[in-house]
Chains A and B, each alone.
Chain A
Amino acid sequence: MKKGALLVLLLIVWAVLAWPFDVQTGALKWSDMAAGLVVALLVLVLARELSPSDVALRVSPVRVFWFVAYAFFLGWYIVKANVDVAYRVLHPDMPIRPGIVKVKTALRSQAALTMLSNSITLTPGTLTVNALEDGTLYIHWIYVRTEDADEASRMIIGRFEWFLEKIFE
């Protein structure tokens, strides 16, 4: 049942990417859809182990609202991250002080942890090296400001945790 829904979703994405099928008429070509079906089935087979149970999203308007808000919030930090990296790279002295620090998050659901890890990687100076199930994250920091786990947690993930809790937990 869940697999069926996923297959339909994959086919829709494929259709959007392959559209318009025929340059002149815009008509749907069955050969395109057949190729899409093959790819979608292949993805399902390859990813059959990658469907954690708690991603069964309990979608609600409130969650969607927070998700959209988060997208904009994250977008701002992504831009900031880039200016930051560009500055460090172009500066003649390259002001970096790299290291791997440990942070702890209270988030537990796999979806939230995944989202958090990816957000960390996209934001200024930080890159997730490993995320453990118990909420421990190892983060490569391009300019280590503190080696203390609690303080680093506050500085790196404090701004996201609040949002992700609203979306996922």
Chain B
Amino acid sequence: MNEIIGKLVLVVGLAFNVFGCIGLIRLPDVYNRLQAATKCVTLGTCFILVSVMISAWGESGALVLKAFLCMVFILITSPTAAHALARGAHAAGVKLWDQSVVDRYREDNDPGVEEPE
């Protein structure tokens, strides 16, 4: 029983990872792509780790604990890394997609510029 549920959760996790990858290809600029990469890949990987926990439940306590710890680390580091990448990209002057509607960050840092579009 555990194994079946574990496999199902694994499939869900992989599906979200695939969505994240599709988003990475389809979305237009670095910021939108980061959205897909952080959200879908974080949850997808968490689901995979949950699947490990379910499959190992009752057999290997060590594995359950390790998977849980990995989940906590991913949930902390993934958004932090995305934040660093987005800020770095903006600081390096990477432009938003040309159909973006507003960029308050750029306006505030560099009042001379016009709004994008």
Residues of A within 8 A of B (CB): 13, 16-17, 19-20, 78-79, 81-82, 85-86, 88-90, 94, 96-102, 117-119, 121-122, 125-131, 138, 140, 142, 144, 147, 149
Contact = CB atoms under 8 A, between A and B. Distances in A.
Interface string B26-62: 1111011011101110111000000000000000001
Contacts of A90: 19, 22
B35 A127 contact: yes
Contact of A142 (B35, B82, B105, B106): B35
Contacts of B90: 129-130
- Interface size class on chain B is 35 or more
> In terms of DSSP, what is the predominant structure of the interface of chain B?
helix
Nearest to B22: A89
A144 B101 contact: yes
B62 A98 contact: no
Contact of B16 (A13, A86, A88, A99): A86
B69 A16 contact: yes
Interface in B68-114: 69, 75-76, 78-80, 82-83, 86-87, 90, 96-97, 99-106, 108
> In terms of DSSP, what is the predominant structure of the interface of chain A?
mixed
Given A16-B65, A81-B39, 19 more contacts: A20-B62, A79-B43, A82-B43, A89-B22, A89-B23, A89-B40, A90-B19, A94-B26, A94-B27, A97-B99, A99-B103, A99-B116, A100-B102, A100-B106, A118-B76, A121-B82, A128-B79, A140-B32, A144-B101
